Amino acid sequence: MLILPESQRQVQSLLRIRLAIVQICVLLPIIFSLPLQFGVIIAFAPLWTIVRIHLKQSPMLGRWLLVAITVISAAAVWFHFGTFRGRDAGVSLVAVMYSLKILECRHYRDVNLLLTLAFFMLAMNFLFTQEIWAVFYLLAALLLITHTLMYANANDVSKVEVKKGAKILLYSIPVMMFFFVFFPRLSGPLWHIPSSQSAGTGVSDSMTPGDIGALHLIDEVAFRVKFLDASPEPGDLYWRALVFENYDGLSWTQDRRRNDIPLARQEAEGDVLRYEITLEATKQRWLYGLDLPVSTPPGTRLKSDGTFSAARRVEKRIRYRGSSVTRMPLEVELPPLSRTINTELPSSGNDEAKQWARETYAQFNDTTNYVNYLLRFIYEQPFFYTLTPPILKEDMVDNFWFGTRRGFCEHYASSFVYMLRAVGIPARVVVGYHGGDYNALGDYWIITQAEAHAWAEYWMEGKGWVRVDPTAAIAPHRVEQQLLNQVGLRNFLFDDLPVADFMAESGLNIAQLWLDNVNRAWQDWVIDFNQSKQFDLFNQLKPDSWGLGRLFGISVVGILLFLAVIAWRMSRSRESLDHVARSYLILTRRLAKKGFEKHHYEGPQDFVHRVIREKPQWSGELNPILRLYLKLKFSNDSAQFAKKHKQLRTMVKRVRLVT
Amino acid sequence: MIKKLLDERWLRWIRRRRPLAQEITLSQRSTYIFPTRYGFLLLAIVFVMALGATNYQNNMVFISTFMVIAIGVIAILMTFHNLVGLTFSAHSPEAVFAGQVAHFPISITSQRHHQSIGVGLRNASLSFVDIVAAAEQRVEIAQLCKARGYQMLDPVRCQTIFPFGFLQAWAWLFFDVKCLVYPKPLKPETIEQSAGSSSGKESDTPVPGVEDFYGLRPYQPGDVMSRIYWKGMAKEKGLQTKEFVEYQSDPDIFSLSQFPSVDLEFGLSYLTYLVIEAHQDGRVFGLQLGEQTIAPQRGEEHMHQCLRMLALYKG
C-alpha cells in the first residue's frame, strides 16, 4: 500500500468521529466545571462534527466563519470573567480554542496535533477535581487517546487493538509512580496564583439567621479527626471555630477588640485529648479544635476566646495536631473588656424580648435557674427545628421567640444569647461543628458541612464560660421528620429520639466507611504528597546508613531494569503462528482421546484424511479446520492472518466430534 | 538545505560502516530513533504540565504529566522495536533499458508482528506494509536506471512512526543487489556497411543446416548416425557423412564500426536498437565489440547475451 506524504493525507470521516469523541472525553469534566454558556460552546464543535458526519455532510466550516466563532468565544470569556488569567478564565479560553480546532482539521498533521494536545487538556480537568475517581477517568481517557493515536498512525486500522493500548498504559503506571515519588518537588508555587472566585464552604465569619430562608445541608467533608489516645463522649463533640460576640441587631460577628488577645496560659484540668485534624481547604484562616483547645499547632495562636487560626488562609487541605480538655473553665476571672463586650446589645429593637427577659429573670434572680427556665421554655413551648424557617426582618428575637418559633441552630443560639445579655449575663455565640461520624475501619471521625452548628456560652461566677446548646432543648417530636431523613448525623443533638438512633445504625453503611477510608488514603498519599512528605518517604524507604544518592541510584537502576524487561518482552517472538500451532495441537489431542493417534510421519493432511476415512461423519467439522490450518500455515496473506488465527482457534474449540 | 547536506553526510558515514549484503536483519545498532515534530510538541506539553503542576501543587496534574512521560518512554521502546528484528532480503530485478524503472523485489520477514513499516528510496514515497510473524511480505522498490551497466540498488530507507507518531525509527539498508541495465535503444539515422558484413540479399554463403544436401565429407567421430552415408560404405568408399546446409543471406554482424563518427554511447544505443530489431524480425545476427564477438545466432537467449555485452562494454 502506498501512502501519501503526511501533509497530503486527508482525514477520513471515521477518524474525524474518533477525534470528536476524544475531544468530548477530555473536555467533559471541564464542561461541567465551567459556567453553562462555556460548556455549551465547548461541546458544540465535537457534537456538530459527529452530527454532520452522521448526516453524511461535511462538518468543516468556512475559514471566516471559524475566525468569527473563535473571536466571539474569546470575547465571551473576556466579558464573563473580565480577564484571561486565573483558572476558570484561562481554562475556558483554552478549552474553547481546543474544541474549535476540530472544525479545521483537514490533514494528518491536524490530527496528531489535536491528539497530542488532548493530553494537555486532560490534565486541565484536575485543576477542578482531584477526587479518586479522577484517576480512573484519567486512565480511561489515556486509553482512548493512545488508541486513537494508533488508529491515526496505523497503516491498516483493522489491526489496531485496544489490548495494545491497555498494555502500554499498564507498562506506564510503574514508570509514572517512579516519577511521582522521585520527581523533585518545590515547597511552594513558582508564581502567585490568582485565587478562584468560588467561595469556600464551611463556617462563615458572620451569622445572620434572619436572612436565611432555606439552609442546605451539604454532605461534603469538612474535616477528619483522629484521636491519638482516647475519644471523647459523643455528646462532647463540639468543634469550636469562631466566637461571635458582637451583635448589631441582625448579624453576629467577631469582636475586633478581642481579636488579638492571646489566651492566658492555664493549667489543663481533666483528661487531655490529643487529636489530629485533616482539614479540607476552607479558604479561611480559622482552624477547628475540640471544645476547648489547650494547645494548638505551631504557627497558630490560641486566642482568649478559645479559638485559634492559621497564619494564612487554608487554600489546600492541611493537617495539624491539637489537644483539648472537654470541660475546662475559661476566663474564670472575667476581664472588664470581656464583660463589656459580652453584655452589649443594640439600644433599640426587640423591646418585647428585653421586657420578657427582665420579668422572667426577676422570678429567679439566679443565672443557673434562669438558663434552665429558658431551656425548659424552648422544650415546652411549640418551638420547631426546621431548615426552612420564615425570614425575619426586624426585631428578629421578638418575632422568633414569641412569633414564628421556627428555625435552626442559629436562631436558637442567637435568641438565647440575647435573652441572657438582656438581663446582664455575659453571653456569646460559638460556631463550629457538632457531632461527627465514626469510621471504625480507619478509627477516625468524619465531620461534614451538614454538621455545622451554633451554640451559646454564658459566663458564671467561679465557673467561667459555660456551654449551653439551646437547639438541643427542642422537643424531639418537633424536629422535622424530613430533616432527619435528610441527615442522620444530627443524632447527638436529638439523641432521645428513637428515629435518630435507628438512623445512626443504618445511615452510613460499611461500604461508605470503607469508601471514606480509601478516600482518606488517597488524600494522604496522593493528593497531599508534597516536598516534606517526599523527604519523609525517602527517609522511610532507605536504611539509616544510606545516603539519599544511594536510594536514587537504586531506584533509577530499578526503573531502567523495568524498561529493559519491557524492551525484552517486545523483542521476543510470539503470537499468531504459535496460536495456529497450538490450535492444531489441541485438535490432535482431542482426536487422540477419540482413539486417533497421530503418527509421527503423518502430516496434518494425511492424518486428518485418515481420520475422516474412518469417521466420515466428522468430515463436516474437520475439513474446514484443515483447510484453514493449511491456509494459515502456508500462505503469505498477512492481512487476513490476525483475524483468521482466532477463527481457527474458535473452530477447534467448537469441534464436537460426536460418534 | 542544511538538512539535506547533513542527511547526505550521515548516509555516507553509515555506509562506510555497513557491509553490503543481500539479506539484512535490523539490529539495535543499525536502527536509529528520533522524535518527530509531534514528539517535540509532546515534550513541550509535558514541560508546561510539569510547570503547572508544580505551581498549583496539584498532584493529579503531576500524575497526568508522569503518565504522559511514561507513555512517551514506552513509545520509544515500541517504535524502536517495531523496526528491530525485521529481516529484509533483496533480489535482482529483471534487466531494464537505460531510462526505465527497475523494480527491485524486497521480501520482509520477522519472528514478530510489525505494523506500518515504510520502505522506500530516499526522496521517494514509501510503501507501507504490516508484517505478520513468520509470513513473508513483499515490496518492490522502483528505481530509475539512467545509465547502462550494472545499477546497484540505492540505499533503502525503512522507517516507522508507529504507534503514536511521536518518534520515528529508521534504518538504512545497503543491499548488494544490482540490476543489469541495457543501453537505451536508439534508431540509427544512417548505417554504413561494415567491411565484414554485406547486406546483400543473395550472398550464397552456406551455413550448416538441415535443408539442402551439400556434399559428403569424411566421417568424424561424433557425427550423427542418420547422416552417415551408408550407401557409400557399401561402395567401399569408407565412412562418409552427408553434409546439409541452409542457403541464406549473409548474417549481420553488428559492430561499432558501422557508426564510426558517433559517440560510443550513441553507437551502443544504435547497436541495441539493431539487435532488438533483428531479434524481432527473427533474423540471425552476431555482434562484435572490440575483441569480443558473439557468433551469429538467433533466439531470445542470444539477444539477451548480445544486450548484456552491450550493457557491459567498456570502450
* Rounded CA separation A292/A65 (Å): 65
What pLDDT band is residue A485 in, cutting at 50, 70 and 90? very low
Asked if A119 is an interface residue toward chain B (Cβ–Cβ < 8 A), one would say yes
pLDDT at residue A492 in the model:
41
Q: Which three cell numbers stand for residue A24?
A: 468530548
Helix axes A13-33, A108-124, angle to 10 degrees: 20
Residues of B in contact with A642 (CB under 8 A): 113, 132
A124: closest chain B residue by CA: B61
Q: Is the dihedral of CA B178, B180, B186, B192 positive or negative?
A: positive
Based on the domain organization, do A293 and A442 belong to the same domain?
yes
Q: How many structural domains does chain A have?
A: 3
| A156 contact residues in B (CB cutoff 8 A) | 115-116, 130
Interchain contact A387–B (C-beta under 8 A): no
Q: Are B126 and B159 in contact (CB under 8 A)?
A: yes
Q: Identify the pLDDT of residue A201.
A: 33
Measured between CA atoms, the residue of chain A closest to residue B75 is A168
Rounded Cα gap, residues A507 and A272, in angstroms: 31
Choice among A441-445, A476-480, B94-98, B156-160 with the minimum mean pLDDT: A476-480
Residues of A in contact with B59 (CB under 8 A): 130, 180, 526-529
In a domain, A545, yes or no: no
Position A158 in a domain = no
Residues A229 and A338 occupy one common structural domain: yes
Band the pLDDT of A490: cuts 50, 70, 90.
very low
Instruction: Give the HSE-up count for residue B223: Cα atoms under 13 Å, Cβ half-sphere.
Output: 17
Confidence band for A393, pLDDT divided at 50, 70 and 90: confident
- The CA distance from A90 to B233, in Å, is 117
Q: How far apart are CA A173 and CA B50, in angstroms?
A: 17
SS3 category, A453:
strand
pLDDT in tens, A549-583: 888 888 899 999 999 998 888 877 555 556 777 78
What is the per-residue pLDDT for A192? 52
Nearest Cα of chain B lies from the Cα of A534 at a distance, in angstroms, of 12
Whether A539 is covered by a domain: the verdict is no
Chain B residue with the nearest C-alpha to that of A632: B135
Answer whether residue A301 is part of any domain: yes
Residues 481-540 of A with CB under 8 A from B: 526-530
Nearest CA in chain B to A167: B74
- Sole residue written with cell 443565672: A367
Ordered DSSP codes for A595-612: T-PPPTT--HHHHHHHHH
Residue A352 lies in a domain: yes
Same-domain pairing of A399 and A255: yes
* Chain A residue numbers touching B125 (CB-CB < 8 A): 2-5
Tens digits of per-residue pLDDT, B120-130?
998 788 888 88
pLDDT band at B182 (very low <50, low <70, confident <90, very high): very high
Among A105, A127, A149, the domain-final residue is A127
pLDDT tens readout for residues B23-36: 888 888 889 999 99
Both A582 and A503 in one domain: the answer is no
Residue in the block written with cell 478564565: A89
Subunit contact A574:B45, Cβ cutoff 8 A: no
Flag whether A312 is in a domain: yes
Residue of A nearest to B39 (CA): A116
Question: If you write DSSP's letter for every residue of A17-48 in order, what string do you get?
Answer: HHHHHHHHHHHHHHHHHS-HHHHHHHHHHHHH
**Would you say the ipTM is above 0.95?**
no
Give the end of a domain, one of A470, A491, A510.
Answer: A510
Same domain, A110 and A219: no
- Do residues A483 and A385 make contact, with C-beta atoms less than 8 angstroms apart? yes
pLDDT band at A19 (very low <50, low <70, confident <90, very high): very high
Within-domain flag for A305: yes
Q: What is the pTM of this model?
A: 0.63
Alpha-carbon span B193 to B187, nearest angstrom = 16
Asked whether the beta carbons of A645 and A576 are under 8 A apart, the reply is yes
- A580 belongs to a structural domain: yes
User: Is A172 in Cβ contact with B70 (below 8 Å)?
Assistant: yes
CB contact under 8 A, B67 and A172: yes
Q: Please, are residues A369 and A438 in contact by the beta-carbon 8 Å criterion?
A: no
Q: What is the Cα–Cα distance from A46 to A148, expressed in whole angstroms?
A: 15
Asked if A99 and A245 sit in the same domain, the reply is no
Nearest to A175 among B73, B117, B164 (CB): B73
Angle at B88 between CA B169 and CA A149, to 5 degrees: 35
CA B130 to CA B86: how far, in whole Å?
11
A214 lies in the same domain as A123: no
For residue A602, the one-letter residue type is E
Nearest CB to A3 within list B38, B65, B128: B128
Question: Which pLDDT value is given to residue A260?
Answer: 60
Find the domain containing A601 and state its range. 576-654
Residues of A with Cβ-Cβ distance to B42 under 8 angstroms: 116, 119
Residue A493: predicted pLDDT = 46
Which of A457, A481, A510 is the last residue before a domain boundary?
Answer: A510
